[in-house]
Structure 1
Amino acid sequence: MNLFRTVVGIDPSGKRLALSAVRYGVGRPSVAVPPVAVELRGDREQIRMAEAESVLADFVARNGLAGCEARLAIPAEKVFLARIPFPPLKSKDLRPALSLELDRIFPVPASRLKFNWRRLDGAAGRKDVRLVLVAASSEYIERWEELVSRAGLSLGAAVPSGWAMSETCRWAGEQAVSDGKLCAVLREMDGGVECTAIAGGEPFFSAVRACPPEGSPVEALNLLSESLIDAPDSVTEAEASVYAPSWWIREGRFPQAGTERANPVEGFENRMSAAMALPGEDAADPARFWRVLGALGAALCEKGPDLLSPDKEGERLRTTARTATIALAAAALLLALSWPASVAVRTKQAVDRLDAEIASLRPEVARVEETLAILGDLEGRIAYLKEARAGREEQILVLRQLTERLPQGTWLTGLRMEDLKVELDGLSPSANEIFPALARDGQFRKVEFASPITRQADNLERFQIRAEFSPVPPETPAEARKKP
């Protein structure tokens, strides 16, 4: 079904033909062209059908509607309607079961009828379900299907007039109908009056009664009273909101007696006329509005009981359910497939965020690494100094003692120390003076020449001396005070 399309509504109720075209698209459907209502002058139905074909073809050609879908509002006098209790069955079993009951319910053979039904709200605890069973002559519907086809349209549905009335009120935003309250639409027909009673958003009564024009309000209320005798349980004691021509009340033709449960709704005609007006046009005349009410409702009615192809309605519902199931399954599959991708995207976003944080910390890290390198270098130097100091105090003392004791002009060419043993190699102007200088105070013991003294060409003596260093403990302050 196309989203953007135009649907033509056809209402042949009474001895007139009402036509309306509704444009569908985004948002609320709107009236596409001005509706028309033409009086059919023929005395016989066959002549009126020929007149209707001519009027319909002219309407289609004048407004460029060829090829559009059409919907027929079956007049209330052509519809058989019954409210029946029925055992609760599955939808696929309900149609065969109801077809067996048609001969008993309606005065026309079932083979000559097309039927459909709607479920009414029932009382809690009731075993049976309440159904509104509607039927119409298959021959009548087929004649209209052929007529519509010759006029350049294709008949897409045929709905009872009552459902067309209900849909028009819902489209106009009438709260009582939308809320499922008890409502009634009363309108004058050619030589009669029509009453449609609605509850729970669905018509449960639709009938026409012949009467003179001056008796229309009284007969309409009589029909309403008859409809309430076997009303749905949810509205048994409810007050009916009545949508009726304003001139009935204005001219005093709406009787007060017997209207305890009928409450006329004010402003309905003004709201409907404004809704039907095209851009730049004034609101429609109320009398004209009542004549095209059924045609407008037929064009708007998409969920009413279709009598053109009732068998296909269940199939459409099953197809819709099947399509919805497939769509839900596809959505679930897409969600299942997109979940890993969403996890990967979130993970990548987290990684990118961490990379950005790391990049912002790199200068600080470089400074810390530089500081750690400096600390490492200092620690190495400190360790070297500690190592140089550890166990080498004696060597420093030896060097100090030798510096103080060796004669002037003496040069050391070698100094070896193993534990406390010291071996000296050097040159001196007088090597014999070194021996007593080392052994004078006991700091060096076992002093001896390791080799003979030899004189060099420069008149210096080469010597080699061995000794054992014996450091004297440092003097305490008390010992220093005892010295004279």
Structure 2
Amino acid sequence: MDIRQSLRRLAKADFADAVGMALGEREVSIAHVKKRFNAVTLVSVETRVVDAPPEGRWPVILDFLREFLTSNGIDSARISVALPRRATLLGHLQLPASAAENVDSVVTYELDRIFPAPADELYVSSYWRNLGSVGERIAVSVVAGLREQVDATHREMEAAGFAPSAITATPVALSDYYYFCRGDGEATAGIIYRDGDRDCLTVASDGRLISTVHFDAATESPVDRLAREVESLIPDKIGGGVELIADDDVDERAGTLASILPEKVASSGIEPTWREAVAIGAALGQLNESATHVNLLPADLVQAEEGVGIREMALAAVVVVLAATLAGSIAVKNLTLSNALASEVSRLEPKIKEVTRQEDENRRTLERVELLEQPRARSVLAYLKAMTEAVPKTAYLTTFRYKGDKLEVDGIAENASALIALLERSPYFKNVEFTAPTTKYLQSQERFSLRMELEQ
């Protein structure tokens, strides 16, 4: 093992316990994962049905967590919670590679274009990857959690004495589970599972969540839907060995989430379901075993570790041993390296100054743009809700565009002409009209495009 590999392993080393929770509509899964230096062990994982009304859910969940910690003898652990799919959103941006250093600022500026919700109602976390063979552009993935759900989760758990270290999204934790199981190599998969009464597909590649969608397995095969997602978002992976992972027997070519879990990690007899895999992935993210670090908790709510514990002492011992091992070779090479570094610093110093100047100029330009940009006066959520209530269940939208005082929508309906009267009756819309002739879709449906003005 060379020095670079040793340092990489040292950077990932830890000495801690983590507990992951996966919250669902009708069930909750909890996993206990421990890490000793670089050895990871899945100690236990359990699932419990939450048969309680909404107002009584949290006492049941917290009792389950308390029992789990007690039965596993856990006194101190980092707790990470994966919110259910309905409480999170995933958005995408493509930017020039030069924007990589300012991704967070750009995401903040573009947030109202990425999600159909006001920025002040969301907590977000983002990461990016290179696009194209020469990396001239980057693809930014933005994970958002509804502020109300994140705050409520933190509030309930903190009040019970279980303040979480992180809150993530179900698809992110599932992607982290797959990344850990397949190692640090470049691997891509479509993970199929059923959440309640909906079929879901989560696409993960190179340790990053790429997409997560609902689809109808009765009308579209998982393989076909996975191929569409790969072709649309990661075309460079076409023909590159994309695998299909399923929580049940949906396709004979598919592996299972339980089968990809390394034998040396799991205790005997543990075969996690997809929600239990989410809980495991949430815990792994707290042990430095994920490629991206997604935490929807704002910085002021993150539970910080206090004092110097076993983990710090153990890592310090590793550093001392490694430093002693490397001391001889470093002493021999020190003079040569010093001369080379001095020469390299002299060569790079003008470039560094130029980059710093450009960053300062970009920052000033962004500040001027933010001052000129006026905040939106109305929330789009009211119109989205009104549209949802007005459109019959036999129709659905494929596009929803909000432009100042107008809305434009596209979709499929059994009787597109009837939609105009339905929308005109809403107090939110007026002057509803087709922007293009309706076209036949399948046997009894029509594809439509409508434009309407918004009532002030």
Calculate the TM-score normalised by the size of structure 2.
0.57
- Cα distance, 1:151–1:7 mapped onto 2, change above 3 Å: farther
For 1:47 and 1:167, locate their aligned partners in 2 and report how far apart those are by CA, in whole Å: 31
Match of 2:51 in 1: 41
Contact 1:6 1:21 in 2 (8 A): yes
Code of the residue aligned with 2:200 in structure 1: it is E
Q: Which residue of 263, 271, 283 corresponds with 1:299? A: 283
Percent of paired sites with the same residue: 16
CA deviation after TM superposition for structure 1 residue 66, in Å = 4.0
CA deviation after TM superposition for structure 1 residue 238, in Å = 4.0
Tell me which stretches of 4 or more aligned residues in structure 1 moved more than 6 Å: none
Code of the residue aligned with 2:95 in structure 1: it is F
Contact 2:17 2:76 in 1 (8 A): no
For 1:123 and 1:36, locate their aligned partners in 2 and report how far apart those are by CA, in whole Å: 42
For 1:270 and 1:105, locate their aligned partners in 2 and report how far apart those are by CA, in whole Å: 36
Matched residue of 1:170: which SS? Answer: helix
5 Å matches for 1:356-395?
none
Match of 1:72 in 2: 81
Match of 1:466 in 2: none
Match of 1:82 in 2: 91
For 1:171 and 1:216, locate their aligned partners in 2 and report how far apart those are by CA, in whole Å: 31
Matched residue of 1:164: which SS? Answer: helix
Code of the residue aligned with 1:234 in structure 2: it is D
Looking at secondary structure, tell me which structure has more helix per residue: 1
- Cα distance, 1:166–1:216 mapped onto 2, change above 3 Å: farther
Q: Which residue of 3, 6, 23 corresponds with 2:34? A: 23
Q: Which residue of 239, 252, 258 corresponds with 1:269? A: 258
CA deviation after TM superposition for structure 1 residue 35, in Å = 1.0
Flag structure 2 segments of 5+ consecutive residues without an equivalent. Answer: 1-11, 305-318, 336-456
- Alpha-carbon displacement from aligned partner over 1:256-310 (angstroms, at most 9, x marks no partner): xxxxxxx523x753453845643xxx423x4x53341100111011343323346
For 1:229 and 1:93, locate their aligned partners in 2 and report how far apart those are by CA, in whole Å: 28
Larger Rg: 1
For 1:41 and 1:277, locate their aligned partners in 2 and report how far apart those are by CA, in whole Å: 29
CA deviation after TM superposition for structure 1 residue 93, in Å = 2.8
For 1:56 and 1:182, locate their aligned partners in 2 and report how far apart those are by CA, in whole Å: 33
Match of 1:13 in 2: 24
Establish whether residue 190 from structure 1 lines up as the match of residue 171 from structure 2. Answer: no
CA deviation after TM superposition for structure 1 residue 125, in Å = 4.5
CA deviation after TM superposition for structure 1 residue 240, in Å = 2.4
Contact 1:67 1:152 in 2 (8 A): no
For 1:2 and 1:151, locate their aligned partners in 2 and report how far apart those are by CA, in whole Å: 30
CA deviation after TM superposition for structure 1 residue 4, in Å = 2.4
For 1:99 and 1:3, locate their aligned partners in 2 and report how far apart those are by CA, in whole Å: 32
- Cα distance, 1:272–1:14 mapped onto 2, change above 3 Å: farther
For 1:76 and 1:207, locate their aligned partners in 2 and report how far apart those are by CA, in whole Å: 10
5 Å matches for 1:147-226?
147-172=156-181, 174=182, 178-208=184-214, 215=217, 218=220, 220-221=222-223, 223-226=225-228
Contact 2:42 2:266 in 1 (8 A): yes
Flag structure 1 segments of 5+ consecutive residues without an equivalent. Answer: 255-262, 317-326, 344-484
For 1:219 and 1:56, locate their aligned partners in 2 and report how far apart those are by CA, in whole Å: 37
For 2:205 and 2:187, locate their aligned partners in 1 and report how far apart those are by CA, in whole Å: 6
- Alpha-carbon displacement from aligned partner over 1:326-365 (angstroms, at most 9, x marks no partner): x9xxx8xx979x959x99xxxxxxxxxxxxxxxxxxxxxx
Match of 1:228 in 2: 230
- Alpha-carbon displacement from aligned partner over 1:71-124 (angstroms, at most 9, x marks no partner): 112333322112221233466632122111111110111111111222123103
Compare relative contact order (CA 8 Å, sep 6+) and give the higher one, 1 or 2. 2
Match of 1:95 in 2: 104
For 1:187 and 1:223, locate their aligned partners in 2 and report how far apart those are by CA, in whole Å: 13
- What root-mean-square deviation, in Å, do the aligned CA atoms of Structure 1 and Structure 2 show? 3.8
Code of the residue aligned with 1:307 in structure 2: it is N
CA deviation after TM superposition for structure 1 residue 159, in Å = 2.3
Contact 1:207 1:223 in 2 (8 A): no
Code of the residue aligned with 2:245 in structure 1: it is Y
For 1:166 and 1:111, locate their aligned partners in 2 and report how far apart those are by CA, in whole Å: 27
CA deviation after TM superposition for structure 1 residue 162, in Å = 2.4
Code of the residue aligned with 1:37 in structure 2: it is T
Tell me how many residue pairs correspond in the alignment: 300
